[in-house]
Amino acid sequence: MLNWNFKDTISYQGETTTQDSRKFEFLVEVYLKKRFPLENWRLTKATRDGNRDLENFCEFSGTSMWAEVKYTIHTDENISSRKYDSTLVSSMFEKNLIKIFFISSTSMGNNLIERIKKFYYLSTVKKIAFVDGYALAYWLKKNPDVETFFFNTPVNYTPPTAPNVQLQCIRILYESDSYTIDSVLEDEVVYPLYLSNNYILEGEFTAYGFDTTPLFLYCNNELLYKETVPPEITTFSLNLGELEEEFDINKEFSLDIYYKLHNKRIDCGNYKLRFASLGRIFSNQSQVYISVQNGIKSANNKMYNIYGPHGSGKSWLLNNLKNDTLKGITPDKKIIYINFTGQMTDGADICRLIFTLVFNFYSLSISATAFTHYCRENSIANSFFNSKNIELLIQALQDEDYLTIQKTLCGSIFSKTKKIFEACNDFAYERIYFIDNVNLLNETNYSIFKEILNAFNPRKNISFVIAGREPLDFSNMENIPLEYIEDAEILGIINECIPFTVNNLNEIVPNKHYLKYPGLLHSFAQEIGSFHSSREIKQFYIDSFYNNAVRYIKGTFVFDDVLLLLICIMKDGVPYAVLQELAFNKIKYLLGKKYIIHNGDYVYPNFEIWNKYIPQKVIEDYKEKIVPCLQNFMVRDKDRKELYQCALIEYYPQYYNLYFDSIYEYIDVCFKNNKYSKVLSLCESLKKGSVYYGGPAEKIENVKYFLAFSYMHCDISQKALGIFYEITSNYKLKAKDNLYFKAEAQIIDAKYWSFQEFKTLPAYINEFRKSWSIIEPKNPQLEARSFLTATNRMMVTYLALDKIRLANKWLQKNVRLAIKYESDEHLGYTYMDYAKGIYHLNLSLALKYLELADLHFQMPSEHRRHLDCQCEIQYVKFLLGTGSIEQLQLSQEALFENQYWIQYYKCHLKLSVCYILMGKREEALQHLLEAEAPAIMKNDERIKYLCCMIGTFLYSDPIPYENLALAGTSYHKIIRNTHLNFKQSNAVIYNAKETSPSYNLDPRVW
């Protein structure tokens, strides 16, 4: 443990400080300037975390180097592996960055080094240097003048007396696919590998006593390092294919790392490689294997779907196909492997699938700059590849905000999907996608994935090999069934493994057995090699194998392992690095058994193998072990502290009150920053256990409101409405307050947008306004926003009912109330909503109100309203003959760029109407289809009405639509007209003051 006993005050280059962290930054600057006297190192301005780093910029070459400095007083611990995350991300946007120093006041563990090295492996930043506290202390002892300047007493460090080399960590890197470098079992003595090429041996060492004498470091007689080297953490790398000795897939291969000093060999470490295949391919799998492999070789550029029941060996076969294809990889072929897990992280893998189709990049962290640059250079209006859309997605991916990713994909992927396969035409190589466990995708992610398959273009030198449970109905898709193993083959395999012969399978297993499953048969065959009689095999099957097989098939698991239970409880993922430290061998075992899934930096439960229910008795039995682990994670992984707290209170509700306030405060922060996806999951946890809460009841009610409001913003409005009703129902016996009126205003808003309750809504709103008006004088803290919302909804309801005189009266009320309560934005809402309600009455007057409304939306908080209003203005101008289709399309593009999906897709309906009026039926139909396709446009009553009205004309066939709530209104008249005049070749805009025998299009497309 180092003790940085700085002087109380230090003055350096005109700056005086008493902060130890600032003194450490000064020390690092001195270190870099003395170590690299030809470089121009300077401290930067303080970053968001208050730290100052260093930068060296070369004016001649235009390149730069960074030094990231982290100071901590806890020198008895390794620096956190998350400390440098912001640096990793920001460095990707620096095109001319060539080297980064990571410098710390304490030690740097293997996890941190491994994390950083993996991150930069495929990047343009080729040089990474690590300087820990011990390397700095060693340097100080060589520079006593610096030590005297900075410290009251010498740093408590004694340099080694004799030269020596210590290996820090060792990795074998290999290609999982053409875009992914994986590490195999770091720091294990034996590495099981599959392929026999493309390995890189990489590791770090620290050398003492070689500052002036060159170090000669070897691996199997191959020179790894030949230079003088300070005692800093130094990296070596060796392509194992360059070693003199060739690999033999049937033998262990030894790696000896050593150095020579005074002509004497000194060993540092010995590692062994052995090669492991994925197992036997059975006859039915062999047929599928040959079929797919021949298809790939013949460059058919098709989609192959290997489908079959659970346990039939689909994943096993897919991995064999993938690895054998990789083994014969050539520069003109790329392999992309994606394994869906049923988690929200699947959205990130769908992004990578899309990005590799267009950009030839897999790792977003590495290629963010390249993505956005491509999008700016190849602007594709209103498509997924709009640069702002890509930037938002990349930020969400880096933040691990998977709900935002899903919402963004849902909004954007349905727009011009074919561009995914058209955007880049200059790929001179073939791309083969191996995609596993499609059946695990949730409904939303599957709908996105389906759109990609629908857009598949076989001419683009692309193939898909998919594995799932069901046949898929897409053009260019070949469905290939995979069945279980036949008894005759099972018997043959068993006889190959034992020293005697079994003549009949029923000698060892019952008629209904579980050896037809490839994975179980493979496991069974490995266990029976030492048996000498049929009876022994039969007893093994009955006593041991059978129960495990049943659990596997039924998807259940006996939770007799605390580590597995911990991962299952923490469904949002447990840091892989932390689990490695806790129990590396156990993690390796669980991954090997596929009970868990390693994805990125986290480990997740594998819900494909066992069900999600954990027996309560198991929860209680392991309480003494689980609780301390989760509490430890709260400290080790502080950025996700609240997620561990939520997991703890879900399974151990006695901790609910202990952690409630912490989670509640974090929810409040997220809500104020519009992080609705985070709010949603946290609030669901608190609401689920609310019966255990012993604090103020209003906090639980606020949690419900936060949750419902977040549901609304995440397009889950049906769930939201039920919670709003739940909140208001609790006020029957207590005084109504802000929360009640906010929830009630949301209910009124939902009733209006349901398009079903126009006739009963005015009375409902009157009751609300009466209640609010009674409470207001007694409660000075009562907010006016809900009252204004209700007043606005009264106006637009009367407009929907064509009661224009009453609507005008409520227009004036809205204006007066907005002025009274100093709500400028409410004036904007009032004018805009009134304008949209009179399109069928007076378009010129509507335009004036829209332009007046937009004046009140010129503020950042009203940006969505401003863009929406601009879109309405251009639409009305077109209808009046003073605008253009191009201006409307530009307004739509602005909505797309800002991810306002509902408004964006409604603009497609506007464009469809405009093209009908222009006589361009084909273009109108295209825009109608664009509006109907997205999931977010489904189940909306108003959208159904608009699509019925537009579609009936375009298809010349009446689309049924019935809504009794619209009886007697202009909406009903238009519906009746569509059914009478659907064969008309021309259409006009409906005007309530004039009747026309032509097909009437409702202009109220909003």
* Tokens encoding 194: 């599959």
Integer angstrom CA distances of residue 893 from 206, 417, 917, 936: 55, 16, 21, 18
Looking at the predicted structure, is the pLDDT value of residue 192 above 50?
A: no
Integer angstrom CA distances of residue 951 from 105, 839, 907, 921, 956: 68, 20, 15, 11, 8
Nearest C-alpha neighbor of 783 from the set 822, 824, 828: 822
User: Are the CB atoms for 711 and 679 separated by under 8 Å?
Assistant: no
* Tokens encoding 149: 């300047």
* Tokens encoding 171: 């990795």
Beta strand pairing call for 462-468 and 303-307: parallel
Q: Kindly report the number of other CB atoms within 10 A of residue 369's CB atom.
A: 14
* Tokens encoding 460: 């683009």
- 408: pLDDT confidence band, cut at 50, 70 and 90? confident
Q: What is the pLDDT of residues 784-804, one digit of tens each?
A: 999 999 999 999 999 999 999
Nearest C-alpha neighbor of 605 from the set 644, 569, 629: 569
CB-based contacts of 422-426 (< 8 A; 24+ apart in sequence): 422/457, 423/358, 423/378, 423/380, 423/385, 424/358, 424/359, 424/360
Q: Kindly report the number of other CB atoms within 10 A of residue 526's CB atom.
A: 10
What does the pLDDT read at residue 851?
A: 97
Helix axes 387-398, 402-412, angle to 10 degrees: 160
Can you tell me the mean pLDDT for 473-488? 92
Integer angstrom CA distances of residue 643 from 291, 745, 775: 46, 31, 39
Q: Which of 78-87, 103-112, 368-377, 949-958 has the highest mean pLDDT?
A: 949-958
- 354: pLDDT confidence band, cut at 50, 70 and 90? confident
- 369: pLDDT confidence band, cut at 50, 70 and 90? low
What does the pLDDT read at residue 911?
A: 96
Hey, what's the torsion of the CAs at 338, 339, 342, 348, to 10 degrees?
A: -30
Q: What is the pLDDT of residues 554-598, one digit of tens each?
A: 655 566 678 888 888 887 888 887 887 777 677 877 776 677 887
Can you tell me the mean pLDDT for 601-630? 80
Can you tell me the mean pLDDT for 302-326? 87
Looking at the predicted structure, is the pLDDT value of residue 364 above 70?
A: no
Q: Using the CB atoms, write b or e for 863-878: b if 16+ within 10 Å.
A: eebbbbbbbbbbbbbb
Question: Which residue type does 663 have?
Answer: I
pTM: 0.68
**CA 158/CA 138 separation, integer angstroms:** 8
User: Positive or negative CA dihedral for 772, 773, 778, 784?
Assistant: positive
CB-based contacts of 392-397 (< 8 A; 24+ apart in sequence): 392/899, 393/351, 394/364, 394/368, 397/348, 397/351, 397/364
User: Are the CB atoms for 25 and 71 separated by under 8 Å?
Assistant: yes
SS3 (DSSP) at 580? helix
CB-based contacts of 282-285 (< 8 A; 24+ apart in sequence): 282/313, 282/485, 282/489, 282/493, 282/518, 282/521, 283/485, 283/486, 283/489, 284/482, 284/483, 284/484, 284/485, 284/486, 285/313, 285/316, 285/317, 285/482, 285/518
User: Are the CB atoms for 782 and 815 separated by under 8 Å?
Assistant: no
What's the number of CA atoms in the CB half-sphere (13 Å) around residue 630? Answer: 29
Flag the least confident range among 5-9, 185-189, 342-346: 185-189
- 320: pLDDT confidence band, cut at 50, 70 and 90? confident
Beta strand pairing call for 462-468 and 222-227: unpaired
Q: Enumerate the β-bridge partners of residue 55.
A: 42, 66
**CA 112/CA 168 separation, integer angstroms:** 12
Can you tell me the mean pLDDT for 132-149? 92
Residue 870, Cα to own-chain centre: how many angstroms?
32
Looking at the predicted structure, is the pLDDT value of residue 807 above 90?
A: yes
Nearest C-alpha neighbor of 934 from the set 966, 899, 965, 961: 899
Looking at the predicted structure, is the pLDDT value of residue 146 above 70?
A: yes
User: Are the CB atoms for 315 and 528 separated by under 8 Å?
Assistant: no
Question: Which residue type does 907 have?
Answer: C
Q: Kindly report the number of other CB atoms within 10 A of residue 6's CB atom.
A: 19
Looking at the predicted structure, is the pLDDT value of residue 92 above 60?
A: no
**CA 507/CA 487 separation, integer angstroms:** 13
Q: Which of 111-115, 240-244, 503-507 has the highest mean pLDDT?
A: 503-507
User: Positive or negative CA dihedral for 921, 926, 930, 933?
Assistant: positive
Can you tell me the mean pLDDT for 879-898? 93
Residues in the chain: 1006
Looking at the predicted structure, is the pLDDT value of residue 183 above 60?
A: no
Nearest C-alpha neighbor of 94 from the set 120, 130, 132, 131: 120
What does the pLDDT read at residue 610?
A: 56
SS3 (DSSP) at 101? strand
User: Positive or negative CA dihedral for 230, 235, 241, 245?
Assistant: positive
What's the number of CA atoms in the CB half-sphere (13 Å) around residue 390? Answer: 27
- 189: pLDDT confidence band, cut at 50, 70 and 90? very low
Integer angstrom CA distances of residue 290 from 127, 276, 282, 404, 486: 44, 22, 12, 41, 19
Residue 514, Cα to own-chain centre: how many angstroms?
37
Question: Which residue type does 680 have?
Answer: L
For 867-880, the three-class secondary structure string (H helix, E strand, C coil) is HHHHHHHHHHHHHH
What does the pLDDT read at residue 193?
A: 47
Mean pLDDT of the chain: 84
| Residue 627: partners with Cβ closer than 8 Å, 6 or more residues away | 648, 652, 655
User: Are the CB atoms for 67 and 43 separated by under 8 Å?
Assistant: no
Percentage of the chain lying above the pLDDT 90 cut: 41
* Tokens encoding 421: 């396969």
What does the pLDDT read at residue 191?
A: 42
Integer angstrom CA distances of residue 131 from 90, 154, 156, 231, 903: 20, 19, 18, 9, 52
* Tokens encoding 387: 């640069």
Q: Which helix (H) or strand (E) holds 289?
A: helix 283-297
What does the pLDDT read at residue 186?
A: 42
